[in-house]
Structure 1
Amino acid sequence: MDTHTASLIRLGWLAGLWLLMTVSVAVAQEIKIPVPDTKRDTLTLTDSISKGIRDAKQIVRDSVFYVNLKNRMFKRRVTRELHKLLFHDMYNSRIKTGDVNEIEVNPFLPYQGRVINKIYIRRLGVFGPSVYDTLRRPRSWLERTANQLHADTREGVIRRSFLLFEEGDRVSPDTLRDNERLLRNSNVFHDARIIVVPHEGSRGFVDVYVITQDVWSLLPSGSVGGLNRFDLRLEQRNFRGLAHTFTNQVSYNAVDPFQKLEYRGRYIIPYIGKTFFTGQADLVQTRDLKQYAVRFYRPFLTPDTKWAGSIELSHNRFPRYVVFSEDTARLTKLNYNYNDIWAGYAFKPFFSFLGEGDDRTRLVVAARFTRLAFTTRPEVRADTNQLFQNTNATLFSIGLSRRRYVRDVLIYGFGRTEDVPYGSLAALVAGYDNAELGQRKYLGFKYSKAHYLESFGYLYGAVSIGSFLRSKTTVEQGILSLESSYFTPLRTTNWGNWRHFVNFRYTMGAERFANEYLTLSGRDRLGINNDNLRGTKLLLTNFENILFSRLNIVGFRVAFVTFVNLGLVSYQTKRLFQGPLYQGYGLAFRLRNENLTFNSFQIRISWYPNIPQNSQPFRPAFEGVPTARFRDFDISAPEIIPFR
């Protein structure tokens, strides 16, 4: 048996083992999403009374603690003003969040099939009210002034581009829930809520109220290193209330020998008309990248979306592209044109998959064509720089997707409603690549699954395996990837609410090209940038504890974070577990205002005891933290499993 066949067998064996474990756990535990029992039997009544007693005790503990603290701080003028600045009366999060931290039945079910008579749009100010308390007022003149300066999303834009239903349609509970999620997931709205009320004088008609709250859309940022060096960035995520995103960034460095002035620009038009296509244009003129790109795309926004697809055209030029290998790094020039188009169709299957068939399950078929044509590159041969060969890939996929969502709070956000996906996805990808160095076939498989239990937490697992095949026994650019993530239920203490997060990732490459690599470097990996943390096999585990405190500094909520990052990485010529265990430990103070488009900010202190060529083990940092996103279970374009 040759090494190529052995590599393929090892990949298949590991993937099969991971898949068997994932499915076995799901079948053995029969984890289902619990929903409240609507029947008021004795057991339900007893549970409700017990829960009410627990909540009442928590309210008393929280109230006594913060009332005593308030009394002590109000004895002096300075501490009294400090208390007003830092604290608001938020003794119990369950009262504040209402039904959003419960896994509940669909509230629109009682109105299923009724005709929508009128749709009313209610737009709230950025600061002050919320979709669960529309009468709340801004707390200061600063918030009132900001509300006056902000241009709310136009009512016509909401009706035309963000609603999945119209007047005269019959109420579909799933459509209304999906529409709430669609509004919340856009970068225009902080939160959204849909309310259905019976139309006065009629049993067959209802009125629908759509309540939205924008985020503060203007985001300036930058840095100044003197008169001869600065970086300015201005992003408007709701240009003139049209929901368009317009981003401009200008950088200047008078001593840069290659290019003194740099520019990045992007314009995005979401959900054009009722087509739900999004248009995007990019212009980049920096010292290391020149890019012109345009893209139109429509994803499978909901399980009821039948058609999806995209088209993308771009020209890219890298004057100084860094090519890494196992022990070297060199600069080269790259120019290439990239063309990509795909389309997919989703429909209800006539069978169930692993016992999960229901009205939210969709069978998706899709096709994709991608062309990569280089005009400037290093010399390409059968054993050198294969990564830069011209390619014309055609891929086909068939997959089964089942996805649902529940609402919760204080996961990745600091109080906004979050839609947590659960379900499963299985997709098979096959195709061929008419590459410059010869035609090759591609075969890949992906499977992922997630469960969410109020008493257990959220558990997600995924396996991906794929490879090009030059012949029946010759593997090229193979990959096996295993991922898992977990977070605990929300726990309440006197100081706030906390969760634990655990993330695991294992990636192994087989017969990868010489200039392909994985890395532990980066904020979302080990937490430190270092060119020595490279290889073709990677194992990474992240542990994070977050305490969402009750501190509120000028509208910014404060969270206290501790983390541990552990990683292994090696090239194909070495065993993964024979290398050093790279480590990172630290704590951070994270601040975020959910009404702003700003990233979270954090002050972080980290310790990296054994990173190679690292002269500073202790590292303080003040940085922005992008909001993390859940892995969803929608099937998109057929893709070659990325090596990352």
Structure 2
Amino acid sequence: MNNLYLTGLPRLRHLLTGLLLLWLVVTTGWAQITPDTTKLPPVGVDRRTDSLSSKHSRVIADSVLKQRDSVFYSGLKRRMYKHRLTRQLYDAVFHDVYNSQQSTGEVSTIEVNPFKDFEGRVIGDIYIRRLGVFGQSVYDTLRQSDNWLERTANKLHVNTRERVIRRYLLFREGDALNSTTLRDNERLLRTTTIFHDARILVVPRTGSRQFVDVYVITQDVWSLEPNGGVGSLTQFNIGFDQRNVRGLGHQLFAQFAYTGTDPRQQAEYQSRYTIPFIGKTFVTAQAEFLYLRDLKQGAIRLYRPFITPDTKYAGSIELTHTQINSRVVMRDDSVEYIPLRYNYSDVWFGRSFRLFFSEGDSSVRGRARLILAVRNTNYQYLWRPPVTNDSNQLYQNSRTTLFSLGFSRRKYVRDVLIYGFGRTEDVPVGRTVSVIYGFDNAELGRRTYVGLNYSQGSYIKNLGYLYGLASLGGYIRSATIQQGVLSFESNYFSPLLPTGWGNMRQFINARYTTGINRFNNEYISLSSSGSGINTDGIGINNDALRGTRRLVLNIENILFSKLNVVGFRIAFITFANLGMASFPEKPLLQSTLYQGYGIGFRLRNENLTFNSFQIRLSYYPNIPNNTIPFRQAFEGVPALRFRDFDQSAPQIIPYQ
């Protein structure tokens, strides 16, 4: 939504404004262009139609936020920029604050918490406004779908039910309004898989200095994603992913595959059902069943994360039964399949305590937390190869108990065009430190575990966003470190650079990992699928790209173009992936620098649950046993998530 300010001398300003309005009326036939800026009267909601009236919607958009309709001004600017004279006239009259901040990547004035003016006032009524998937937006509820396909899709989609939306609210009628809680609640709604975007508005009651009403506006994503493929009459797969079953917020994934020529198992099936935020407990339940060729698994989970910095309690319970043919690449490059069958249980609980500091900017004061957590995991093997001190140490029966003490301080900055294609993105800013200590009671002896994590991320003025993570951990037995790991990771993205074709960002990710006295056949790899920032390797699978140490550098440039095809935004990418891996007998920097380069483009419609579609052409000049250096791919790219600064279950630092 644009926040526009008139500039220039008063008389000239009025004259130019009059000319603009007259020109618009003549050329477009829009007669009413001045929004209603009267004070908001008491607002009624027709719960049968679940909609505010057009007048009330206009009042909310214009009076509460004191900003004008984004579609009107975007259309006005687009029309006037077609001719040199009218473009100069537009630039002389209007200063486009919102769009200029979006295009430069600077932190927007929207970061000023809009709820602070109502701090401490009593929340009266809470109204829910549910928007259609296509056409409208939370910043312009008056916009309508402009084609029959979108209108038909809106009718077919079942919007999230009002009672379900209320489960996601961190406040209720009669509470004293907390501006930070409302800001966190907006972010929580946006991070769910069922909403494309969300917005909360606070409206003072007429004639009352004590009460305010709250409007929660949500826009669903299209929730049904079919998937499948056909190779022949005897080789096919079909399935779907429903992210919002009948508007209840439940998620159902199911897939069936058939390969008639495979003698081991011809039919495969997998399914998963998730019920988020049961009641008002913020507990999520999930059941999963896999019946695949080399993996049979059943699992049930209950979990509650630290949703916001104000969440006091978190935890989870997971029970899993697994039967797997584990594929292991040996040091001599031979491949073995090891049959395993085991039960796994995982239980953890955490408690958060608020810390107060006077230093720092006001937006993060009171956001610091001290988190205590305990976790117990248990592996019980029912079927495995013999375990000795020299072989198969990974498959021990074991019970591990971990304790963690952590410090977390975080806030979120709203930005656009990072991992999304125009939706609001909440970028975490802050730091976290955690210490892990515990015991591993395994068949081959008892070991002590010690680990340390430190991470920090923030915007650097005029330079972009930088995130860093350092981790060190390992088991200790007889004063010797076993299965240790040391890793560093850094992620960077630049400010938006406006160009004539769209907005551009640069992404740079670097990762270094080394193992310390790892077991035999433990290693890390440069192999992975994807490209650029969407991979933790160099974008190609190859068993030769292995070692106990690894260094990876991913560089990607993304041009978010202005092209829009049936609601799909198009981004053009170029990338370079560089990596090295080695075993202890050879220094890492003396190993081969494996390389991958490529170009391509991605398509995404943010109103759909589908992954981004990517078409890329890659070149790998020096991969061992690779007879095809040029490769092309059409693939789905899942949406990336930011590394947050929350604390969760104590965990063994992963060797990956």
Q: What TM-score does the superposition give when structure 2 sets the normalisation length?
A: 0.83
Deviation (angstroms), 1:422 = 0.6
Match of 2:625 in 1: 613
Q: Say which of 517, 520, 530 aligns to 1:514.
A: 520
Match of 2:278 in 1: 272
Paired residue secondary structure (2:408):
strand
Asked if residue 394 in structure 1 is aligned to residue 401 in structure 2, the reply is yes
Give CA deviations for 1:25-77 in whole Å, capped at 9, x if unaligned: xxxxxxxxxxxxxxxxxxxxxxxxxxxxxxxxxx99x95998489xxxxxxxx
Match of 1:560 in 2: 572
Contact map agreement 2:106 2:462 (CA 8 A) in 1? no
Contact map agreement 1:326 1:571 (CA 8 A) in 2? no
Asked if residue 291 in structure 1 is aligned to residue 303 in structure 2, the reply is no
- Equivalent position amino acid for 2:329 in 1: F
Deviation (angstroms), 1:102 = 4.4
Deviation (angstroms), 1:574 = 1.6
Cα distance change of structure 1 residues 343 and 154 upon mapping to structure 2, 3 Å threshold: same
Asked if residue 323 in structure 1 is aligned to residue 335 in structure 2, the reply is no
Deviation (angstroms), 1:481 = 0.6
Of residues 123-132 and 348-357 in structure 1, the stretch that sits farther from structure 2 once superposed is 348-357
Deviation (angstroms), 1:358 = 3.0
Deviation (angstroms), 1:515 = 1.8
Deviation (angstroms), 1:104 = 1.9
Q: Say which of 611, 634, 637 aligns to 1:622.
A: 634
Contact map agreement 1:101 1:409 (CA 8 A) in 2? no
- Equivalent position amino acid for 2:624 in 1: P
Q: How far apart, CA to CA, are the structure 1 residues paired with 2:83 and 2:287?
A: 56
Q: How far apart, CA to CA, are the structure 2 residues paired with 1:243 and 1:316?
A: 28
Q: Say which of 462, 475, 482 aligns to 1:476.
A: 482
Asked if residue 155 in structure 1 is aligned to residue 167 in structure 2, the reply is no
- Equivalent position amino acid for 1:435 in 2: A
Deviation (angstroms), 1:592 = 0.1
Paired residue secondary structure (1:251):
strand
Match of 1:35 in 2: none
Q: What is the alpha-carbon root mean square deviation over aligned residues?
A: 2.4
Match of 2:112 in 1: 105
In the alignment, structure 1 segments of 5+ residues that lack a partner are 1-58, 70-89
Deviation (angstroms), 1:532 = 1.1
Q: What TM-score does the superposition give when structure 1 sets the normalisation length?
A: 0.84
In the alignment, structure 2 segments of 5+ residues that lack a partner are 1-73, 85-95, 530-534
Match of 2:369 in 1: 362
Asked if residue 194 in structure 1 is aligned to residue 200 in structure 2, the reply is yes
Paired residue secondary structure (1:346):
strand
Q: How far apart, CA to CA, are the structure 2 residues paired with 1:66 and 1:221?
A: 42
Deviation (angstroms), 1:99 = 11
Q: How far apart, CA to CA, are the structure 1 residues paired with 2:390 and 2:422?
A: 54
Cα distance change of structure 1 residues 428 and 354 upon mapping to structure 2, 3 Å threshold: farther
Name which structure has the greater RCO, CA cutoff 8 Å, separation 6+: 1
Of residues 565-574 and 399-408 in structure 1, the stretch that sits farther from structure 2 once superposed is 565-574
Q: How far apart, CA to CA, are the structure 1 residues paired with 2:372 and 2:358?
A: 17
Match of 1:208 in 2: 214
Contact map agreement 1:103 1:454 (CA 8 A) in 2? no
Contact map agreement 2:497 2:505 (CA 8 A) in 1? yes
Contact map agreement 2:507 2:556 (CA 8 A) in 1? yes
Paired residue secondary structure (2:111):
coil
Paired residue secondary structure (1:156):
helix
Cα distance change of structure 1 residues 274 and 558 upon mapping to structure 2, 3 Å threshold: same
Deviation (angstroms), 1:528 = 0.8
Paired residue secondary structure (1:348):
strand
Paired residue secondary structure (1:315):
strand
- Equivalent position amino acid for 2:247 in 1: G
Paired residue secondary structure (2:152):
helix
Q: How far apart, CA to CA, are the structure 1 residues paired with 2:499 and 2:358?
A: 43
Q: Say which of 564, 573, 578 aligns to 2:590.
A: 578
Give CA deviations for 1:374-429 in whole Å, capped at 9, x if unaligned: 11111110111101111100000000000100101000000000000010000000
Match of 2:183 in 1: 177
Cα distance change of structure 1 residues 96 and 130 upon mapping to structure 2, 3 Å threshold: farther
- Equivalent position amino acid for 2:498 in 1: T
Paired residue secondary structure (1:463):
strand
Cα distance change of structure 1 residues 91 and 227 upon mapping to structure 2, 3 Å threshold: farther
Match of 2:378 in 1: 371
Paired residue secondary structure (2:232):
coil
Match of 2:260 in 1: 254
Match of 2:70 in 1: none
Match of 2:40 in 1: none
Paired residue secondary structure (2:636):
strand
Match of 1:421 in 2: 428
Paired residue secondary structure (2:189):
helix
Contact map agreement 1:126 1:214 (CA 8 A) in 2? yes
Cα distance change of structure 1 residues 91 and 606 upon mapping to structure 2, 3 Å threshold: farther
Deviation (angstroms), 1:594 = 0.1
Q: Say which of 459, 468, 482 aligns to 1:452.
A: 459
Percent of matched pairs sharing the same residue: 59
Contact map agreement 2:357 2:366 (CA 8 A) in 1? no
Match of 2:87 in 1: none
Q: Say which of 145, 148, 172 aligns to 1:141.
A: 148
Deviation (angstroms), 1:200 = 1.5
- Equivalent position amino acid for 1:342 in 2: W
Match of 1:547 in 2: 559
- Equivalent position amino acid for 2:160 in 1: T
Cα distance change of structure 1 residues 94 and 257 upon mapping to structure 2, 3 Å threshold: farther
- Equivalent position amino acid for 2:314 in 1: A
Q: How far apart, CA to CA, are the structure 1 residues paired with 2:231 and 2:151?
A: 34
Of residues 374-383 and 208-217 in structure 1, the stretch that sits farther from structure 2 once superposed is 374-383
- Equivalent position amino acid for 1:115 in 2: V
Asked if residue 125 in structure 1 is aligned to residue 137 in structure 2, the reply is no
Give CA deviations for 1:281-308 in whole Å, capped at 9, x if unaligned: 0000000100000000000010000000
How many aligned residue pairs are there? 563
- Equivalent position amino acid for 2:634 in 1: F
Cα distance change of structure 1 residues 379 and 355 upon mapping to structure 2, 3 Å threshold: farther
Give CA deviations for 1:489-516 in whole Å, capped at 9, x if unaligned: 1111111001000000000001001121
Q: How far apart, CA to CA, are the structure 1 residues paired with 2:445 and 2:110?
A: 53
